[in-house]
């Protein structure tokens, strides 16, 4: 009987952890449906910062946007500059754009919704980031 009680106590202890796993899985599903082109690690980081601080202005990130082949590089660069005030670095024959910019979920949504974009990654830099490539796109 004590063995059964111990097993029951172990199960009760695991319920909150199982619920946490379930909620995280649901969150990942939401990421894929709402922002399918954005790296979940970037989303976790941004949401964590948004909820753990009282800062009012957006957070500074180095963002890497991978695009389809064949888009006009100059138009893309100018569009990014108009939106961010930053001129992007161009890599991989014009399919990889890197900027250091303030970031919000709304900005990520706009980037992800672009038909020309295939993948979005990034990392927090706190305003001191360098505009250099860190990620490679896996095609």
User: Alpha-carbon distance 19 to 82, whole Å?
Assistant: 44
Comparing 1-5, 72-76, 100-104, the range with the smallest average pLDDT is: 1-5
- Answer yes or no: do 103 and 85 share one domain: yes
43 phi and psi, to 5 degrees?
-65, -45
Domain count for the chain = 2
In which domain, by residue range, is 21 found?
Answer: 1-34
pLDDT over 80 at 124, yes or no: yes
User: Alpha-carbon distance 90 to 93, whole Å?
Assistant: 8
pLDDT over 80 at 7, yes or no: no
- When pLDDT is averaged across residues 47-52 and rounded to a whole number, the result is 86
- Answer yes or no: do 51 and 24 share one domain: no
Q: Checking phi first, is residue 100 left (phi over 0); if not, alpha (psi -120 to 50) or beta?
A: beta
Nearest in space to 112 (alpha carbons), one of 24, 23, 56, 46: 46
User: How do residues 14-28 score in pLDDT, each as one tens digit?
Assistant: 788 889 999 999 999
User: How do residues 90-111 score in pLDDT, each as one tens digit?
Assistant: 999 989 999 999 999 999 999 9
Residue 16: which residues within 8 A CB-CB, separation 6 or more? none
- Answer yes or no: do 66 and 79 share one domain: yes
pTM: predicted TM-score of the whole model, two decimal places: 0.79
- Does 70 reside within a domain? yes
């Amino acid at each position: 009987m004590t063995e059964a009680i111990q097993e029951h106590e172990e199960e009760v202890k695991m319920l909150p952890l199982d619920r946490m796993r379930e909620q995280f899985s649901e969150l990942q599903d939401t990421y894929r449906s709402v922002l399918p082109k954005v790296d979940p690690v970037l989303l976790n980081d941004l949401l964590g910062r948004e909820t753990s601080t009282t800062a009012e202005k957006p957070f500074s990130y180095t963002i890497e946007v991978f695009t389809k082949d064949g888009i006009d590089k100059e138009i893309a660069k100018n569009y990014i500059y108009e939106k961010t005030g930053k001129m992007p670095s161009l890599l991989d024959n014009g399919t990889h754009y890197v900027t250091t910019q303030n970031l919000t979920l709304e900005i990520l949504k706009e980037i992800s919704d672009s038909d020309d974009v295939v993948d979005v990654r990034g990392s927090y830099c706190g305003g001191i980031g360098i505009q250099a490539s860190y990620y490679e796109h896996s095609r």
